[in-house]
Amino acid sequence: MDLDFRATVPGWQVAGCLAAAAVGTGAVTWAWLGLSWATVASRPGPLILGLFGPRERFILVALGALVFAALVSALAEVQEQARLVPPRAIAAPDSRFARLGQHGLEVHYKSIELKTMKSFPPGHSPPAAAIAFMHGFGASLFDWTRDLSGDPAGCVLIRTATALDDAGTSALLMAYDSPGFGLTERTSDLRDYSVERNGALASELLDFGLSDVGMAGTKRVLVGHSLGGLAAAQALYESRVGDAEEGDADTAAAATAEIDGLVLVSPAILPGAFHDGRRNVPRLVQVLGAIIAGILQSLASLTLAALAPLGLLLLRALVRNKKFWQRGLASAFASPASVTPALVDGYRGAKVVKGWDVGMWRFVRSRVTPLGPLGTIMAALQRLDRPRLMDVLLDRRRGVPILLVHGTDDAIIPVSNSRAIAEIAHAAGATLEYVEVPGTGHNLYLEQPEEFSRLLASWVQRCVVNV
């Protein structure tokens, strides 16, 4: 489909919008002045305007212009929406879809077929490793399944599979679109867009992928970039603590899946998350703080819901602008030359999918809270009795090996963020390996796919499979 399509409103429709705006403004004028037909008949139109001062005239003209612009925009949006297609209509030949979770959310994914690997044991035995790749905000599985030129042959998924296969390690590798992005279904339930649900999907997808060959003895690894790193960390948290926060059956079911390795790439996790601010704080103060926090989150979510019409207008204007993607992606790479036309089109391709705008707005709302007012307050209170996320990640007694990777020239999440995390982790005695990739930005795996894939494959073998 034409990603550069811009709706054009025909002249006759523009004229109709102008007439409608004039009639609407006239009706406001009539009501404002309390005019009658006799008054209008005795006073020509221009003289009626003389009853207004400069301020009132400005308001009327602005109102008419606003109505005119709104009508033209609405007609243009009708054309835009008519072009949108179901996700499956633009899916690539190697795309796959799976219904996951209790409510059957349709998830778009791609994978490396086990039968294509020479290291895959005969008799359809379980592979040595199963790896799920999770993308960040605004991205899709394109990150893992295409290189900068748009060629799948040089992507991280294939390079990693090849490196593992050459070393004699059979592995199932799967990348998927997080809810709100790519070709995964956009539902009306805000909980489907939460970080917790995204983390649960990774485990469920690996279960689905291993269903034909079994999973006994298979080591599970989650690879998360940026916000996907937070979701991967949350999945590990749920596998250790269980879901006591949302009462979400899907997340609770995924909590039973063991995770054997975690790879965080430029993760959107602040070092402050490693510190428990509840210590030495009276219980009553903690409870009051949680209630206030829950109320504020609920108010913010309700405000976003009320602002949805304006938010969608802004979102559509940004996402449909090619320069928006070019500028945004330029900040994610150390070298502007990395922002190729194929990369830009790969990122903005999902804007032709039905519901892309509403889904992304729901994702934004879910980042505030995916629950209703009462549920948000109850969740805030329940968190008081749960261990901190980083207390679980850095637990030496039940430690899971973690690979933390960051580009030295990251302009979105500074490398100092991961350096601080690594310092805290090492001080806690956690099993964390920290690697910096020189001369790369936020999307380091796209800038240096061969180096990243080799690093990932080597770490999976050393720290997860052969232990």
Residues whose CB is less than 8 angstroms from the CB of residue 283 and which lie 6 or more positions away in sequence, other chains included? none
Residue 215's CB is within 10 A of a number of other CB atoms, namely: 18
Q: For residue range 318-334, list pLDDT tens digits in order.
A: 999 999 999 999 999 99
CA torsion sign for 311, 316, 318, 319 is: positive
pLDDT of the residue at 247: 47
Average pLDDT (376-402) is 74
Task: Count CB-CB contacts under 10 A for residue 385.
Answer: 8
What confidence score (pLDDT) does residue 382 get? Answer: 76
3-state secondary structure (DSSP) of residue 425: helix
**pLDDT on residue 41:** 60
In the block, tokens 């070092």 appear at: 271
Q: Report the pLDDT averaged over residues 248-253.
A: 51
Per-residue confidence (pLDDT) for residue 293, from 0 to 100: 85
308, 309, 304, 312: which is closest to 366 by C-alpha?
304
Task: Return the domain boundaries, the chain.
Answer: 11-83, 88-465
Q: Are 390 and 420 a contacting pair, CB within 8 Å?
A: no
The pLDDT-based confidence of 255 (bands split at 50, 70, 90) is: very low
Query: CATH second-level architecture of 88-465?
Result: 3-Layer(aba) Sandwich (3.40)
Instruction: Report whether 463 contacts 401 (CB < 8 A).
Output: yes
Query: What pLDDT score does 262 carry?
Result: 95
Could you tell me where the beta strands, DSSP code E, fall in 51-114?
96-100, 105-112
pLDDT at site 243: 45
Mean pLDDT (whole number) for 130-135:
96
Q: Report, as an integer, the average pLDDT of 360-373.
A: 87
Give residues with Cβ within 8 angstroms of 394, minimum separation 6.
274, 424, 425, 428, 429, 430, 432
Output the pLDDT for position 252.
Answer: 47
Give the pLDDT band (50/70/90) at residue 135: very high
pLDDT band at 245 (very low <50, low <70, confident <90, very high): very low
Looking at residue 435, what is its pLDDT? 97
